[in-house]
Amino acid sequence: MSDSVLITLGPTREFIDPVRYITNASSGKMGKCIAEEALSRGYEVTIISGPVNIELPESARLINVTTAMEMINSTLSELENGYKILVSTAAIADYSPEFRAEKIKSDKNELNIRLRLNPKLTKLARKRFPELFIVAFKAEYNMPEEKLIEIAEKKLIDENLNIVVANDISKNKFGSDYSDAYIINENEKIYIEKCSKREISRRIWDIIEMKLKE
Active site residues: 24
CB contact at 8 A, 39 and 119: no
Q: Which helix (H) or strand (E) holds 203?
A: helix 197-213
Return the amino acid letter for 155.
K
Closest CA to 149 of 133, 168, 135, 134: 168
Q: Which helix (H) or strand (E) holds 208?
A: helix 197-213
CB contact at 8 A, 163 and 135: yes
